[in-house]
């Protein structure tokens, strides 16, 4: 095994890569109300720019995974980062919300390469609890983005307008391209075919394998909970509860502290307690916090703490689930780790596109739609963990 693959700098670099999709939302979301006002767009039209981004993320997952199994991790990552760079530069100069939506689609396509290649490299190097530990450590790095990006996005949008967000993303892409040579090639020597029939058979085989489906069902619910917060919290808190854009950035960072705390705990405990116990605790926390958020929202409690505190606990729970369930889902597929990672990412980001659209349409000035989605996610995670994962064990 390549010892380089477990060094601190390498873990940090992979953490930054898996954070790219989050950067594309967390840096951008604080600018959504300002973008809608500047371009004369309704909230649902502005929300479309988030929906198309998620569609791009989902499509990119299906594209980059099989390509990386065939051509290697580094060439595919370079291509994705180049797409991110070009689309971000173009986005800086746009004046139409529909044009922004189109560029966001391309951004999602390019930025999805980072998260997919990051997860895939971990599977190239590790499996089981060791993979879960490295994924949790990467999640700690990843979680710096949801803490820092909302505040940064709010400051950039306030000082220079929403186009500054695209300028910042172009800068990130350029820096990562410069660091790309520091990433070793980890793809197996035996490369898989990229013929459509072979790719389809690989995807069907993965989706038909219970060893993948059981942990993925819990990952799916965790993504629903996370994306409910990410896609709808700006409108809920800024437009619904009347907090300032800067205050929202701080609140978003507070909630994401739950995720980084959960990732830290997971990285420290997984080798001692094992994947199954951490998944059990994460699912329970998602259930309790999601239901609490919904109860408070439907009871009419309009204080920002009634929104942020339950979601802080919810994201703590998801940080126990995602790295551990991902390791469990990828471990059975050493020869097609890129394709297996594609399935996880594509379905997860498809949920994001749907969530963004549905919650944007359902927004009623309160936290009820977002909190209801969190409650359903928590109930689903709890039931899937009990019925599928424990039954599998």
pLDDT tens for each residue of 259-309:
888 988 888 888 888 888 999 999 999 999 999 999 999 999 989 999 999
Q: Residue 128's CB: how many other CB atoms inside 10 A?
A: 15
Q: What is the pLDDT of residues 122-166, one digit of tens each?
A: 877 776 677 777 777 787 777 787 778 888 888 898 888 889 999
Phi, psi (rounded to 5 degrees) for 41: -110, 150
Q: How far is CA 158 from the centre of its chain?
A: 25
Q: Is 303 left (phi over 0), alpha (psi -120 to 50) or beta?
A: beta
Per-residue model confidence (pLDDT) at position 166: 94
Residue 314: pLDDT band by 50, 70, 90 thresholds? Answer: very high
Q: What is the pLDDT of residues 352-369, one digit of tens each?
A: 778 777 887 788 878 899
Which of 12-16, 50-54, 125-129, 318-322 has the largest mean confidence? 318-322
Report CA-CA distances (Å) from 39 to 42, 46, 246, 329: 9, 9, 21, 43
Residue 4: pLDDT band by 50, 70, 90 thresholds? Answer: very low
- Look at residue 189 and tell me if it is in a domain: no
Statement: residue 351 has pLDDT above 80: no
How much is the average pLDDT of 179-196?
A: 70
- Look at residue 186 and tell me if it is in a domain: no
- Token readout for 364 is 């009623």
Per-residue model confidence (pLDDT) at position 142: 73
Residue 58: pLDDT band by 50, 70, 90 thresholds? Answer: confident
Statement: residue 1 has pLDDT above 50: no
- Token readout for 326 is 């991902």
- Look at residue 255 and tell me if it is in a domain: yes
Per-residue model confidence (pLDDT) at position 347: 78
- Look at residue 109 and tell me if it is in a domain: yes
Q: How far apart are CA 333 and CA 85, in angstroms?
A: 32
Q: How far is CA 69 from the centre of its chain?
A: 22
How much is the average pLDDT of 168-187?
A: 87
- Look at residue 187 and tell me if it is in a domain: no
Per-residue model confidence (pLDDT) at position 2: 41
Q: Which helix (H) or strand (E) holds 6?
A: none
Phi, psi (rounded to 5 degrees) for 40: 65, 40
Residue 3: pLDDT band by 50, 70, 90 thresholds? Answer: very low
Residue 310: pLDDT band by 50, 70, 90 thresholds? Answer: very high
Q: What is the CATH number of the domain that holds 365?
A: 1.20.1250.20
Per-residue model confidence (pLDDT) at position 184: 80
Q: How far apart are CA 103 and CA 382, in angstroms?
A: 37
Per-residue model confidence (pLDDT) at position 190: 57
- Look at residue 190 and tell me if it is in a domain: no
- Look at residue 191 and tell me if it is in a domain: no
- Look at residue 188 and tell me if it is in a domain: no
Q: Give the dihedral of Cα atoms 275, 371, 15, 83; nearest 10 deg.
A: 130
Share of the chain above pLDDT 90, in %: 30
Share of the chain above pLDDT 70, in %: 93
Per-residue model confidence (pLDDT) at position 390: 66
Indicate yes or no: pTM above 0.85: no
Residue-averaged pLDDT of the chain: 84
| Between 72 and 111, residue with greater pLDDT | 111
Phi, psi (rounded to 5 degrees) for 354: -65, -45
Domain of 268 in residue numbering reads as: 3-181+196-392
Using CB atoms within 10 Å of the CB of residue 96, give its burial: 0 to 12 exposed, 13 to 18 middle, 19+ buried. Answer: exposed
Q: How many domains does the chain have?
A: 1
């Amino acid at each position: 095994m390549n010892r380089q693959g477990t060094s601190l700098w390498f873990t940090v670099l992979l953490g930054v890569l898996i954070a790219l999709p989050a950067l594309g939302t967390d840096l951008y979301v604080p600018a959504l109300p300002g973008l809608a006002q500047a371009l004369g767009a309704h909230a649902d039209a502005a929300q479309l720019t988030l929906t198309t981004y998620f569609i791009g993320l989902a499509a990119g997952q299906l594209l980059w995974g099989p390509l990386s199994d065939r051509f290697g991790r580094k060439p595919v990552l370079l291509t994705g980062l180049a797409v991110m760079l070009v689309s971000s530069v173009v986005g800086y100069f746009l004046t139409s919300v529909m044009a922004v939506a189109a560029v966001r689609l391309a951004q999602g396509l390019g930025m999805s390469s980072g998260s997919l290649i990051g997860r895939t490299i971990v599977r190239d190097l590790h499996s089981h609890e060791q993979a879960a530990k490295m994924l949790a450590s990467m999640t700690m790095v990843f979680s710096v983005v949801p803490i820092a990006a909302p505040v940064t996005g709010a400051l950039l949008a306030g000082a220079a307008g929403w186009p500054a967000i695209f300028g910042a993303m172009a800068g990130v892409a350029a820096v990562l391209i410069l660091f790309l040579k520091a990433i070793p090639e980890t793809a197996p020597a035996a490369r898989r075919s990229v013929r459509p029939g072979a790719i389809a058979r690989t995807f069907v085989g993965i989706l038909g394998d219970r060893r993948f489906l059981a942990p993925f069902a819990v990952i799916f619910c965790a993504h629903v909970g996370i994306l409910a917060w990410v896609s709808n919290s700006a409108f809920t808190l800024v437009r619904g509860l009347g907090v300032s854009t800067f205050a929202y950035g701080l609140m978003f960072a507070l909630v994401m502290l739950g995720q980084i705390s959960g990732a830290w705990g997971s990285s420290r405990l997984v080798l001692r307690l094992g994947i199954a116990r951490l998944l059990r605790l994460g699912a329970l926390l998602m259930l309790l916090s999601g239901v609490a958020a919904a109860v408070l929202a439907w009871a009419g409690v309009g204080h920002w703490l009634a929104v942020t505190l339950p979601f802080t606990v919810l994201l703590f729970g998801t940080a126990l689930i995602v790295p551990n369930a991902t390791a469990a889902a990828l471990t059975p597929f050493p020869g097609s780790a890129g394709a297996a990672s594609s399935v996880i990412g594509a379905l997860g980001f498809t949920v994001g596109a749907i969530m963004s659209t549905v919650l944007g349409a359902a927004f009623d000035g309160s936290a009820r739609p977002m909190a209801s989605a969190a409650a359903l996610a928590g109930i689903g995670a709890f039931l899937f963990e009990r019925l599928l994962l424990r039954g599998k064990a």
